[in-house]
Every structure is written in structure tokens, then in C-alpha cells.
Amino acid sequence: MQQNNIQYVKGVGPAIAAQLNKLNIFSINDFFFNFPRTYSDRRNLPKIAELVNQETQSFIAKIISVNEETVNNKTKILKVLLTDETGSIQGIWFNQSFLKKYFAPNKMLYVKGKIEWNLFNQKPQLIVNEFEFIDQKNFNSVTGKVLPIYPLVNGLTQFKMRDIAFQLFQNYLQQIEDPLPPSIKEKYELLDLAVALQGLHFPEDQMHFQKARHRLVFDEFFYLQIELMTRRVNHFRFVKGYKFKTEGPLLEHYFQKLPYKLTKAQLKAAEEIKKDLTSGFAMNRLIQGDVGSGKTDVAILSLLFALESNKKGAVMAPTEILAQQLYLKFKHYLDAIGIPIVLLKGQVKGKNREKILATLKEPAPLIIVGTHALIEDDVLISDLGLVIIDEQHRFGVMQRLLLQKKGVNPHCLYMTATPIPRSLTLTSFGDLFKSVIDEMPPNRVPAKTYLVNNSQLKRIYSFFNKELENKSQIYVVYPLIEESEKLDLKNAIAGFEEIKALFPTYKVGLLHGRLKPQEKEEVMNSFKNHELHILVSTTVIEVGIDVPTANIMLIHDAERFGLAQLHQLRGRIGRGGKASYCFLLSTPKNPNAKKRIAAMLKTTDGFKIAEFDLKIRGPGDLLGTKQAGLPEFKLADLVKDEKILIEARTAAKEIVFKDPDFKSDEFLLLKEHIKNQTKFSFKVKLN
């Protein structure tokens, strides 16, 4: 509608509108939701005589004179003498000569910067980082209040942005419709939308700002949770699933052959899966468990439920090494009871591939393990009843859907060994039901972790010798960062040669991403069969490698690894009941690197590690969230706003479970908003 176009607001016009468009502001709605990036508190500004040395301060002053100097033949310094009724101070601008023509005597300025002591003239000076001209027209609008500081592009000024904002709030504030039901606002003590928007652009004080922000953060979470809850409820309303048998001879034989007992956490997850599989609706569940917590055992049980029901089960893993590991583990436990298992990888070609594809088409129970090769067009799977996606966040959304489409509403189980903080789970995976395996098997021994430097390597190698005599196996890990892959690979190869020379009586292997899949497989099998004593590797061992006798790890340049990656690597050791040791070789200097190393030394709990990681990195990179589907929030912070997220989720759940089609009169505006608007807009009712 033309009336809603920002161009037609008084004082905007085509030229200013073109600049606003660069900020993705095309409508009045867009401007209201273009939130300030920070604020300038101009309520109680000090006088010049009250300025404090070494502090960043703001004040209003009049220009007396302007001079320019050149230092070292290149640095140009503008020196502007500023005064008020209490005294004077020199303002300093570096390399901004173009401002000189604007700084005329008697002009008034609002200035902000750091107060420093000038050693040459023994007087204070102001290093200016922000300023604004003040005249009689705008004096009242730029002083005595908290003012928004907006994102800008060339051609726009803070004064112009605030002028537009003042006009919009004056002319349109009363016309904003609030889609949030009154009962929700009352229950959670939320401001009306119009009041909250005004409070975020022009807060009167800190409390006013916090209440306004709370409402708008609630909205960001609420509309996402409405979408996720609706998806979850509609799944049960419309996606029918095959009812599986959860008892039978295969399961009996499996438990008879299993050499250990499942933990309580594993059994609880298995019960939750059984309930899903017998409900008549397609399962949609995420299993979350720390490294080595036993997710694979639960996956095997789920696959056996499928086979007892004469259905096939497909397991997709992100790498060929992990797919191979899963295949071998399944065969180890299931061969004895006659379960047919096939492995389909990208490297399988010709007659072997044709034979596997023909087997997949046959109407008989089968377990299929594979990589992305499973989702190729020519792969047809008859009677596919269960899909399991391991390390699911490493696949794109479309890849996961392609595997599901190989069957008719198959039951879906997603697994991750990357512990996910609660707030991230509720936003990225809020439409899934979740099982948590938060208990380790009895044979898992948490690794003792130490920070070491190069001067301690001799002692560490001496320790290696003693442990090797006791039949231990050792990982030596080098970083592999894509941007410097050749250098990293060179370091790993050099490290391999060094370790061979240091331990001449032991067999040393080398594993890296440039090896052919068959070569990788041979190296890993040799290490697993104890034909190799030390494995020098890049991060290809990060996920899924299971060698129970490997109980020592040395990680070179540990500061270059992400926290989740370090935790995953450390999870490769301590699987055989022996004491395990992880040495982080590093001299961290970057503050975030120091935090990562400190977290690794502090805990082996993957969920605590994940919380640390979320605080350090934020949600953007934690799970490869573009693939995981995490939305971009304008205000909400998953770390500090978790309480608001829980409130918004509870509110959304109450509404969707009560009235999934939003038929109630109370929800009419909400329904219209969900149907017609984005999460971050509202409807302005124009006359």
C-alpha cells in the first residue's frame, strides 16, 4: 500500500528513501523494527570543569577556534578549542581535515570522547569519537534525554533518522495493532506492542528500556515457537506412521548376546522411542548424548524394532569413516543373530553398487548404512520404515528430507554427539521430541586434561613410553583448518616423521583427509587391531572413531580448535576402562582461545562444554546453524534471554495445544499476523 511506503512520510522523499532502502527499510513497519544499535544518554551531562581524566565522557560546548597540524608528514590533527561557562578544553580529531570547514566559531557541539592529559601543555584534552551539531531548533531534541543511535549509510545522519522516528511515533503510534492475545500479555506482564516499540526507540530510563526489550524479545521467540509447536501438533494430526512391533526373537537374541547392560538413560531413551513407534504416528525424535554415552546402542534397538516389523532401517552418517565404523559395530553385534546389513558409500561402483541397489529394492528386512550416497536418485528402498541420521546437524535440511522421501512417512530418529544447550535445542529443534542420554557407561573413564607447552614435551614423550609398555595406544592430533590446509598437512606429516624417530620400536600410522577412503579405512583398522601403537592424525578422527585401548591424546596447537571440536577429540579416549590423559599443547594468547582451554581443563561434561561454547561463540556457528535452521534474531540473545524463551514457548504451547487452528475470537489478530506478516513486523491500520 502506497501510504505505508516510507518514501511518502513527510520529510523523506525519494532520495532519503533510497538511502533507507539500503538499511532494508521500505515501509513504516520496517522503520519501527529498525532498532537502535545503542543509545546516547544526554540527561545529566557534565560541564567542562567536571570532566574526569581517563574517562569517556559527553558534554555540550561552543567552538572558540579551529587549528590544523600535521605530525610526521602524514597524520593531520584538527584542534578545536571548546568552551562552556565553567572552562575550556581542546578537542582532537585525527585525519578528518574535511571537518575544518564546518567548525565555525560560536557553533554549538555535542561531543563524546576520552579525556586525556596532554604532557606538553599540561592540560586535559578530548579525543573525540562522536559529535553532533546543535542549534536552537534541535537543542531540546538532542539534550536532556536518552537518544537512539541508529545504523547508518552514507547520506543519512542520526539527526535525520531521529527526525523520521519522532514523526512516525507521533503520527502512527496509536494505529499499531497488537496481535498478541490480551490474556498472554496479562499473564506474562507484557507491554502493549506500541508502547514497547516507543520504549525501545526512546527509552525514558533503564527500567523502561528493559520492559520494552522484554516484550519484543518475547515476540521474537513466541512467533518462532508458534511455528514449531504448530508443526509438531500437525505432525500428530496428519502424519500417520506404521505401528512397529517392539518385541520378538531378534530382540531376545540381541539382549542374550549383548556383553553388557544398558544404562538407565539408554533404557529410558529406548522406552520413549518404543512409545513413538507404537503410537500410529511417524516418530520425529532427537537423541542427544555426550561422546561415548551409548547412542549407537539405542540406534541398534530402534533398527531391531523395524526389522521385527518386516521393515528396513536406513542409517546416514556424514563421513565415510563414520559410516564404516557404524557398519562394523552393527555387524559385530548383529551378525551372530543373522541380521542382514549392507554398506553403501560413494566409492562403491560398478557391479558391487548394482548388487547393493538390487538388495535395497527387495521386499525383505534389512539395515542399510551409508553416507550421502543413500540420497542419490537411483537409490530405491522398499519398505523403508525407519530413518536414522547420525550427527544430523552436519547435513542440510534438504538432504535429511531426501532420505525421508525414500519411504512413506518413515519414523525418523536424529542423533547428535554434540551436546546442545537447552536454548539452542528449543529454537533449532523445537519441533522435535527429545531424548537425552545423560549417563555414561560404567567403562568410561573421564580423561584428565592438562595444558602443556613445548618445554614439557620431553616429559610427555617419556610418559608415552611407559604407557606404550602397558599396551596403551596414543593419538597425536594436528589441526586442519581449510584456509591453511597445505601447511597443516605438512605439519602433520612432519609430526609423523618426528614421532617415528622418537619411538622407533613402535608402529606409527598417519591419517589425514587427503588419503583415499580405502587408505583411511586400512589405517583405522590397523590402529583398531593394535597393529599400530600411535596414530598421528588431523581432525578426521573427530567423530565416531571407537578404539577402546586408545587412552592418551596429544593435541598440537590446541588454541586453533573450536571448543566442541576439542571435546569431540577428547571423547575418542577413555573408552576401555583405563585411566586416560589428554594433553593440550598450546600457549593461548587470544581471549576466546584462553576461555576454550580453560573450559576444557574445568570439565568433561559435554553439556557444560556446550553452554561455555554458546557463551563464547554465540549460536551462529555452534551447530552450523544455517543448516540447522536457526533464525536470525534482531534483539533476542539465546544466552541471556533463556528465561524469556521458556516463557514464550510455554505461551505458544498453551495456544497451539488448545486451539491449533486459531479459531477462537481471541486469536483472530494472531492468526492474521501469522498468515500475512513476518516474525518481525505488525500491521499498521492506515486510514
576 exposure class (CB count in 10 Å sphere: 0-12, 13-18, 19+):
middle
Mean pLDDT of 498-526: 87
pLDDT digits (tens, 9 = 90+) for 363-405: 999 999 998 889 888 889 999 999 999 876 666 667 777 888 8
pLDDT of residue 628: 45
Q: Is 366 helix (H, G, I), strand (E, B) or coil?
A: strand
Give the type of residue at 5: N
Question: Can you list the domains of the chain with their CATH numbers?
Answer: 45-143 (2.40.50.140), 249-437 (3.40.50.300), 448-603 (3.40.50.300)
Mean pLDDT of 662-675: 88
* 283 vs 279: CA distance, rounded Å: 8
pLDDT of residue 433: 85
pLDDT of residue 393: 63
Pick from 156-170, 565-579, 603-617: least confident:
603-617
- Cβ contacts of residue 164 below 8 Å, gap of 6+? 9, 11, 12, 16, 31
CB 109 within 8 A of CB 135: no
Instruction: List the beta bridge partners of residue 200.
Output: none
Instruction: Write the DSSP assignment of 610-652 as a string of letters.
Output: HHHHHHHH-TTTTTTHHHHTPPPPSS--TTTTHHHHHHHHHHH
pLDDT of residue 521: 78
77 exposure class (CB count in 10 Å sphere: 0-12, 13-18, 19+):
middle
Strand order in the sheet with 534-537: 448-452, 581-585, 550-555, 473-477, 534-537, 508-511
Q: Is 61 helix (H, G, I), strand (E, B) or coil?
A: strand
Q: How confident is the model at residue 515 (pLDDT cuts 50, 70, 90)?
A: confident
Q: Pull the grid cell for residue 543.
A: 567423530
Q: How confident is the model at residue 618 (pLDDT cuts 50, 70, 90)?
A: low
What is the chain's percent helix, strand, coil content, to nearest 5? 45, 20, 35
pLDDT of residue 679: 42
pLDDT digits (tens, 9 = 90+) for 101-133: 899 999 999 999 999 988 888 889 999 988 888
Asked if residue 199 has pLDDT above 50, the reply is yes
Q: How confident is the model at residue 140 (pLDDT cuts 50, 70, 90)?
A: low
Asked if residue 611 has pLDDT above 90, the reply is no
* 106 vs 283: CA distance, rounded Å: 74
CB 478 within 8 A of CB 528: no
* 560 vs 557: CA distance, rounded Å: 6
pLDDT digits (tens, 9 = 90+) for 291-326: 778 888 999 999 999 999 999 999 998 888 788 878
**Helix (H) or strand (E) segment spanning residue 199:** helix 193-201
List helix spans (H) across 416-456: 422-428
Asked if residue 539 has pLDDT above 50, the reply is yes
Q: How many CB atoms are closer than 10 A to CB 594?
A: 13
CB 129 within 8 A of CB 113: yes
Q: Is 454 helix (H, G, I), strand (E, B) or coil?
A: helix
Mean pLDDT of 400-419: 84
Instruction: Write the DSSP assignment of 301-345 as a string of letters.
Output: HHHHHHHHTT-EEEEE-SSHHHHHHHHHHHHHHHGGGT--EEEE-
Q: How confident is the model at residue 681 (pLDDT cuts 50, 70, 90)?
A: very low
Mean pLDDT of 18-38: 92
Among the listed residues 351, 425, 375, the one whose alpha carbon sits nearest the alpha carbon of residue 623: 425
pLDDT of residue 549: 85
pLDDT of residue 619: 59
Rg (CA), the chain: 32
CB 597 within 8 A of CB 451: yes
pLDDT of residue 341: 94
pLDDT of residue 488: 61
Asked if residue 543 has pLDDT above 60, the reply is no
Task: State the average pLDDT for the chain.
Answer: 86
User: What percent of the chain shows pLDDT beyond 90?
Assistant: 44
Pick from 134-148, 312-326, 402-416: least confident:
134-148
pLDDT digits (tens, 9 = 90+) for 240-290: 889 999 999 999 999 888 888 999 999 999 999 999 999 999 998 989 888
Pick from 387-396, 585-594, 624-633: least confident:
624-633
pLDDT of residue 489: 65
Distances (CA, A) of 397 to 319, 323, 387, 417, 625: 17, 19, 14, 18, 11
Q: What's CA 369's distance to the chain center, in Å?
A: 28
User: What percent of the chain shows pLDDT beyond 70?
Assistant: 91
* 385 vs 365: CA distance, rounded Å: 10
* 225 vs 631: CA distance, rounded Å: 11
pLDDT of residue 78: 92
Residues in the chain: 687
pLDDT of residue 684: 46
Distances (CA, A) of 388 to 286, 344, 493: 10, 15, 36
Instruction: List the beta bridge partners of residue 583.
Output: 450, 554
CB 488 within 8 A of CB 480: yes
pLDDT of residue 677: 61
Asked if residue 2 has pLDDT above 80, the reply is no
Asked if residue 20 has pLDDT above 70, the reply is yes
CB 470 within 8 A of CB 506: no
In the chain, the N- to C-terminal Cα span, in Å, equals 12
Mean pLDDT of 631-653: 87
